[in-house]
């Protein structure tokens, strides 16, 4: 199944450090990561149709290391937008989180807006990336939606990847695509069918109570599967939003341009008043070795260990490297060097 895809080293490291949670809430199974200081209001990442909680691993590693709490989820198996709003609310209650900041890409951005519309008191800010306001385009393009439950998995997999531009790509975009394709392989037929149903379930985002000044739009300016005119509608809907576009990065800039995305996310969080707690950084140990951090006690021990670490007192809030992360962040920085696309 994995074919020639080789798992990135930083992802292996991530998996060794950050526990994956799987819990049933109500009738839904939730699969998510939750990392960083628990009393900081979290940034919750909502993936697109071809994503899982794992696609944001680079954000989780980098931002949690800066003292932010980052949660990323798999879209649970819900079949329409009401169900999404209810399920997500139950999820937040279950993990005891009240006020949230949402970072949604593609379908995730749409779901983030819907949640902000229907649960305005919970959503403090939005980062919207390559997303849309309504599903009519997608339902028109998928007349076979009513039989989605009968469609073989391989067709569904192919379908969730439509619109994603086929090669040739520069290496970092190619790698991001490989990563996402490998994630799609892990999805079950029902996962896929429910996401496709969500995409075509007739719905549109109504007016938000959230002020535009609490919204950042982070589109990629080169290409992506969401048609430009749908992305433009988002920009027009929130004229006072911050435009934090990236020159390029394709469909999955959180994987292909992680340092830029992370910088914009930090700028957004700072602007909307989320205070990072760098003192409480949950440990990524310098050597990357040692036991699992999935155990609560272990984690606390890590925290203590890192307090005394090499953290620079005067580190500016947006410093992109930190001595604590050791190899991991070095890898990012070297990636960055290579990926400069000139």
Which parts of this chain interact with other proteins (CB under 8 A)? Answer: 1, 3-5, 153-154, 157-158, 161, 165-171, 174-175, 177-178, 181, 184-185, 188-189, 221, 228-229, 232, 242-248, 257, 259-260, 262-263, 267, 270, 315-321, 333, 336-337, 339-342
Nearest approach, Cβ of residue 248 and other proteins (Å): 8
Q: Which is nearer to other proteins, 122 or 311 (CB)?
A: 311
Least Å distance between CB 336 and other proteins? 4
Backbone angles phi, psi at 164, to 5 degrees: -80, 120
Nearer to other proteins, 194 or 293 (CB): 194
Q: How far is the CB of 154 from other proteins (least distance, A)?
A: 6
Contact yes or no for 61/284 (Cβ under 8 A):
yes
In the complex with other proteins, the residue whose CB is nearer, 143 or 167, is 167
CB of 335 to other proteins, least distance (A): 9
Six-digit token string for 246? 């990236």
Long-range CB pairs of 87-95 (<8 Å, 24+ gap) are: 87/25, 87/26, 87/28, 88/115, 89/115, 89/119, 89/122, 90/25, 90/26, 90/28, 91/25, 91/28, 91/30, 91/32, 92/122, 94/23, 94/25, 94/30, 95/34, 95/71
- Tell the smallest beta-carbon distance from residue 170 to other proteins (Å): 4
Cα Rg for the chain, rounded, in angstroms?
19
List the beta bridge partners of residue 59: none
105, 220 contact by CB (below 8 A):
no
- Tell the smallest beta-carbon distance from residue 78 to other proteins (Å): 20
Let me know: does 255 contact 48? Beta carbons within 8 Å: no
Nearer to other proteins among residue 111 and residue 187 (C-beta): 187
Q: How far, in Å, CA of 18 to CA of 63, rounded?
A: 13
251 or 306: CB nearest other proteins: 251
Backbone phi and psi for residue 94, each to the nearest 5 degrees, phi listed first: -65, -35
Buried-exposed string 179-217: b where 16+ CB fall within 10 A, e elsewhere = bbebbbeebebebbbbbbbbbbbebebeebebeeebbbb
CB of 218 to other proteins, least distance (A): 12
User: Look-up: residue for tokens 């995730």?
Assistant: 108
Q: Residue 141 Cβ, how far from other proteins at the closest point, in Å?
A: 16
When the beta carbons of 113 and 130 are compared against other proteins, the nearer one is 130
Which CB sits closer to other proteins, 25 or 263? 263
> Tokens 């430009």 identify what position?
228
Please identify, using beta-carbon distances, which residue of 90 and 165 lies nearer to other proteins: 165
């Amino acid at each position: 199944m994995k074919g020639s895809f080789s798992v990135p080293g930083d992802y292996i490291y991530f998996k060794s450090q950050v526990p994956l949670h799987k819990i049933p809430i109500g009738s839904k199974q939730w699969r998510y990561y939750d990392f960083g200081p628990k009393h900081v209001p979290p940034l919750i990442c909502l993936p697109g149709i071809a994503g899982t909680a794992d696609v944001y691993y680079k954000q989780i590693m980098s931002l949690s290391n800066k003292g932010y709490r980052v949660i990323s989820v798999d879209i649970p198996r819900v079949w329409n937008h009401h169900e999404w709003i209810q399920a997500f609310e139950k999820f937040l209650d279950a993990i005891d989180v009240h006020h949230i900041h949402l970072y949604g890409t593609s379908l995730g951005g749409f779901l983030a807006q819907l949640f902000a519309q229907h649960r305005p008191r919970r959503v403090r800010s939005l980062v919207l990336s390559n997303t849309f306001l309504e599903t009519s385009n997608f339902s028109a393009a998928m007349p076979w939606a009513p039989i989605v439950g009968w469609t073989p998995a391989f067709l569904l997999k192919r379908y969730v990847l439509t619109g994603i531009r086929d090669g040739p790509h520069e290496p970092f975009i190619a790698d991001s695509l490989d990563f996402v394709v490998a994630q799609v392989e892990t999805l079950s037929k029902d996962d896929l069918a429910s996401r496709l149903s969500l995409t075509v379930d007739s719905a549109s985002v109504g007016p938000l109570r959230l002020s535009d000044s609490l919204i950042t739009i982070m589109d990629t300016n080169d290409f992506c599967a969401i048609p430009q005119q749908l992305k433009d509608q988002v920009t027009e809907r929130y004229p006072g939003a911050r435009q934090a576009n990236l020159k390029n990065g394709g469909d999955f800039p959180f994987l292909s341009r992680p340092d830029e995305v992370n910088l914009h996310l930090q700028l957004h969080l700072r602007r909307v008043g989320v205070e990072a707690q760098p003192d409480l950084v949950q440990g990524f140990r310098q050597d990357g070795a040692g036991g699992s951090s999935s155990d609560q006690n272990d984690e606390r021990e890590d925290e203590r260990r890192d307090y005394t670490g090499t953290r620079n007192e005067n580190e500016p809030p947006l410093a992109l490297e930190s001595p604590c992360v050791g190899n991991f962040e070095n890898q990012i920085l070297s990636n960055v060097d290579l990926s400069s696309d000139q």
